[in-house]
Structures are given as structure tokens and as C-alpha cells.
Structure 1
Amino acid sequence: MFRIEAGIDRRRRDLLRSRLRESNTAASPVLAALRTSPAGREDPLHVWALDEDSALAGGLVGHTWASWLHVACLWVDARHRGAGLGSRLLARAERTARDKRDCVAARLETWDFQAPDFYRRHGYEVLCALPDYPPGVTEYTLVKRLR
């Protein structure tokens, strides 16, 4: 007999993640090899653009893992858009991932009203389009080879 509960429980969440990671590692030779390799570490990668007053003008937040860069967020303040700042932030993250962390590829998600064309111009290819996520919007997953 089981009791099913719903509710936020960070301790159980962490335990579940740990057990899933153990199960995945046991089932996959690739994940098992990554566990003992420097590439298997998930390392944050943040790039910031500050204006002349040291205020945040833009930034990129992501991480590297398994020889991949995952860009989670890229934002440029409206006052600084159109000046190439987003391109510079993305290029710096890709260069760091490739040259200092031996990444071979990058991935990211964006919505149709955000920046899919921006990423395409920077060499990213659409791998997946998920329509109506959320309703009326398409989410894209894009990838780019760094080597």
C-alpha cells in the first residue's frame, strides 16, 4: 500500500534527484564515465555587461556540463539593444565554453517572441519547435557546434 502526496518538499526533491542521478549513472556507460571526469561537473558560466555607472546593461547566465554550454538566460536592457551587446555576451560565453572548458556545442531555449532569429544569425539551428508552449507561443530549442 502506498500513500500519494502532493506538496513542495525540498528534502525529498534533493533525495529524488540524487537517486535518479544514481540510476541514470548505473544504466549509462557515458554518464558513468562523466561522473569521474572534469566534463561531468556542472559549472556555472555567467557573463555580465555593465554600463558606465556599473549598472547592469545585460547578461548571460548558463552552465557547462558534458562538453556542452547551456544558455539559460540572455538579456539586454532596452536602452542598449541594437548595439551588438547581446552578440558580444553570447560570443564571450561560447569562447569561454570552447576554449577554457572544452565544450563542443551549445544549446538554448527561446520563445518565438524573444530571439530565435538572433540565435540563427549566430549559427544556431532549430532542433525542436514546441507549439502552444505556453498557449499561443512556440518554444524553440536551438543548438550550435562550437568546434
Structure 2
Amino acid sequence: MTAAEVNVLTVGAEDAGLTDRLENELDAFNDAATGKAERGDFSVRVDDADGHLVGGLTAWTWGGLCGIELLWVREDSRAGGWGSKLLLAAEAEAVRRGCDRVMVSSYTFQAPGFYERHGYGEVGRVPGVPGGHADVYLFKSLAGGAVQGS
């Protein structure tokens, strides 16, 4: 009997332990391939006077690259410029952490235009999102320590 005949393949619900293990294994692989570049996570948030969340942003940094994971602003606050304020604060934090470039993806029904207005350029698009939409990948250079468009 071969090892493949003894191994067990399972499909199931989310597995936090598996996710952690895969992240650790891939981080080790990536470090070996690229050199051990510093990694980090950060967030930016704004709360109203009552302590309720108005909006927030989560991001990661790795070897001079910042990746924006999530950006959301409460519907009743979207006209107040909070999305821009969150994005600019994140870009400034990325520069502070030594990043000179930033990337983000946004579905076509979300905010690719918002990012383009902030100097991001489309670098790729993945079709097949439900409803006939696509996932748009955008990139921006943060050259010279100052935030600049690509």
C-alpha cells in the first residue's frame, strides 16, 4: 500500500487550525524564496461620539508592500469623506512602516472608482463574480515616502 492509499482526504467547514498551519507553512516557504522580509498587520478606525463604529480599514505589510484587506464606512457616513480619510491614514502608516507601494482588490460593484480617484491603477481583473461582476486589482506607488499616484 502506498502513502497516497493511506492518506485521508476530507472536505468540511472552516478549519481554523488548518488555516493557521497553512499560513505558517506558506510564510516559511515565502521567507525561503524571498528572504525573511518583515511582516505586520494594522488597522485604522473611526468611531462616532457615542463610540459606534463609523468605518475602518485593515491592512498588512510585507517587504515594502502594503495590502489593504478591508475598507468599510457606515452608510450614513459615506458622504463625509471618511473612506478617503481612512485610506490616506493607511497609506501614511504604510510609508511609516517602510512601504513604497500598496495594493487592493475591489469588486466592480464596490469601489474601484474610489481607489482610482486616489491614484490607484488597475493591474488585473478576475471575471466570474456573481451577478456578472469582476474582482479588480489595483496598485499605487508610494514613492519617496510621500503618497503619489501610479
Same fold per TM (> 0.5)? yes
Q: Provide closer, same or farther for how the CA distance between residues 10 and 92 of structure 1 changes in structure 2, counting only shifts above 3 A.
A: closer
Residues 1:94 and 2:91 are matched in the alignment: yes
Q: What count of residue pairs does the alignment treat as equivalent?
A: 137
**1:62 corresponding residue in structure 2:** 59
* CA deviation after TM superposition for structure 1 residue 65, in Å: 1.1
* CA deviation after TM superposition for structure 1 residue 4, in Å: 4.2
* CA deviation after TM superposition for structure 1 residue 72, in Å: 0.4
Amino acid in structure 2 at the alignment position of 1:5 = L
Q: Provide closer, same or farther for how the CA distance between residues 96 and 24 of structure 1 changes in structure 2, counting only shifts above 3 A.
A: closer
Question: What secondary structure, in the 3-state scheme, does the structure 2 residue paired with 1:110 have?
Answer: strand
**1:103 corresponding residue in structure 2:** 99
Residues in 2 aligned to 1:134 and 1:4: alpha-carbon distance in whole angstroms: 32
* CA deviation after TM superposition for structure 1 residue 115, in Å: 0.3
CA-atom RMSD in angstroms: 1.9
**1:130 corresponding residue in structure 2:** 126
Q: Provide closer, same or farther for how the CA distance between residues 54 and 143 of structure 1 changes in structure 2, counting only shifts above 3 A.
A: same
Identity of aligned residues (%): 33
Q: For residues 71-106 of structure 1, what are the alpha-carbon distances to aligned partners after superposition, in whole Å with 9 as ceiling and x for unaligned?
A: 0000000100111110000000001111x2010100
Matches within 5 A, 1:73-88: 73-88=70-85
Q: Provide closer, same or farther for how the CA distance between residues 25 and 52 of structure 1 changes in structure 2, counting only shifts above 3 A.
A: closer
Residues in 2 aligned to 1:12 and 1:88: alpha-carbon distance in whole angstroms: 36
**1:43 corresponding residue in structure 2:** 40
Residues in 1 aligned to 2:138 and 2:110: alpha-carbon distance in whole angstroms: 13
Residues 1:6 and 2:10 are matched in the alignment: yes
* CA deviation after TM superposition for structure 1 residue 66, in Å: 1.2
* Structure 1: 4+ residue segments shifted above 6 A: none
* CA deviation after TM superposition for structure 1 residue 20, in Å: 3.8
Residues in 2 aligned to 1:5 and 1:88: alpha-carbon distance in whole angstroms: 46
Could you tell me the TM-score, scaled by structure 2's length?
0.81
Question: What secondary structure, in the 3-state scheme, does the structure 2 residue paired with 1:91 have?
Answer: helix
Residues in 2 aligned to 1:44 and 1:64: alpha-carbon distance in whole angstroms: 6
Q: Provide closer, same or farther for how the CA distance between residues 129 and 12 of structure 1 changes in structure 2, counting only shifts above 3 A.
A: closer
101-110 vs 2-11, greater mean Cα deviation: 2-11
Gaps of 5+ in 1: none
Gaps of 5+ in 2: 144-150
Residues in 1 aligned to 2:83 and 2:111: alpha-carbon distance in whole angstroms: 10
Question: What secondary structure, in the 3-state scheme, does the structure 2 residue paired with 1:74 have?
Answer: strand
Amino acid in structure 2 at the alignment position of 1:123 = G
Could you tell me the TM-score, scaled by structure 1's length?
0.83
